[in-house]
Structure 1
């Protein structure tokens, strides 16, 4: 018996049902921005206790690399060139948030000053250059583990992490 061809309207209805039922995963895009001394930029956020790497939540339909550049421009007033993907980090549920994927991009070295007058006050209370090994004093545990895991990152490679820990696989 010949199979009936699905109409475009039927196909779109089927996809809408699947989209409504399949899990939604939050995606986060952050950047690893360093200064000439090798310190990393951490943002003191106005809405949470832990400091964090610059970046933010990926908007629907937005590529993560675009997100990190947009967020840093909006929140810190910096225009950055987004380099290679350093790591993909799966984050388990934490403090009421569902699990998520975090995309960490290389933003290179900033050989200049930050201008606090350009910070978006509803997001950024301050920003600090911190030695990577001292970051754990300020950031969430998964961020500290991720920074430790990417300390020896080689450009052109991408690490795959789960909760900030290497799994032995590549992304």
Structure 2
């Protein structure tokens, strides 16, 4: 353990025996990486059937329904995360067609802010039996917009409405679309 010394640019830190020395490039990068803020990333799938209905999941841990997906694991890409989440939670092998939008979500309730990646996911064969992860998914529903507005989270309703208004916009902040330098 290094001692804390009063004065500018001093740092109190502890390290493991096999950590790189703080005076080395590797040590500096490790300390910087540990000190930089971490932002939660979420990957969700926008899956629509031929009738234009949106797939929503009825979750066990909140009242509102939401798009399928979940938190991106450390070192995992958001696209890989959405495929993994669909496999784990619904038992389907999904194919990502592309990124629909990125949406920054401000802090809400006890959650910190997050960056949400929404992927356009190819619908699977409707005859494919779903295997729901019982600890998280109580049911899945193909929803027309009226049912979305009735049952979905406010953030999901706002996101889907903004995609309807301008599907080409690729970045949003909690429903606010940014165009150019706005």
Question: In which range does the TM-score fall when normalised by the shorter chain?
Answer: 0.7 to 0.9
Contact 2:58 2:141 in 1 (8 A): yes
Shift of 1:123: 1.0
| Unmatched tracts of structure 2, length 5 or more | 1-20
Q: Which has the higher strand share?
A: 1
Kindly report which structure 2 residues correspond to 1:83-122, keeping only aligned pairs within 5 A, or say none. 83-113=97-127, 115-116=129-130, 118-122=131-135
CA deviations on 1:45-67 (whole Å, 9 max, x unpaired) are 11112211011100000000000
Task: Pick one of 141, 159, 170 that aligns with 2:154.
Answer: 141
Pick aligned residue for 1:41 from 18, 42, 55:
55
Distance 1:148 1:63, change over 3 A: same
Q: Give the conservation status (yes or no) of the 8 Å contact 2:169–2:177.
A: no
Q: Name the counterpart of 1:51.
A: 65
Native 8 Å contact 1:32 1:53 kept in 2: yes
SS of residue in 2 equivalent to 1:109: coil
**5+ residue gaps in structure 1?**
1-6
1:125 matched to 2:138: yes
Q: CA deviation at 1:114?
A: 5.6
Q: Work out whether residues 22 and 28 of structure 2, in 8 Å CA contact, stay in contact via their aligned partners in 1.
A: no
RMSD: 2.2
Which structure has the greater CA radius of gyration? 2
Q: Which residue of 77, 81, 86 corresponds with 2:95? A: 81
TM-score of the superposition, structure 1-length normalised? 0.85
2:164 corresponds, among 139, 142, 151, to 151
Partner residue in 1 for 2:5: none
Which residue of structure 1 aligns with residue 179 of structure 2? 168
87-96 or 144-153, larger mean C-alpha shift? 144-153
Call closer, same or farther: CA 1:165–1:114 in 2, change over 3 Å.
farther
The answer for the alignment partner of 1:64 in structure 2 is 78
TM-score by length of 2: 0.80
Aligned residues: 161
Match of 1:4 in 2: none
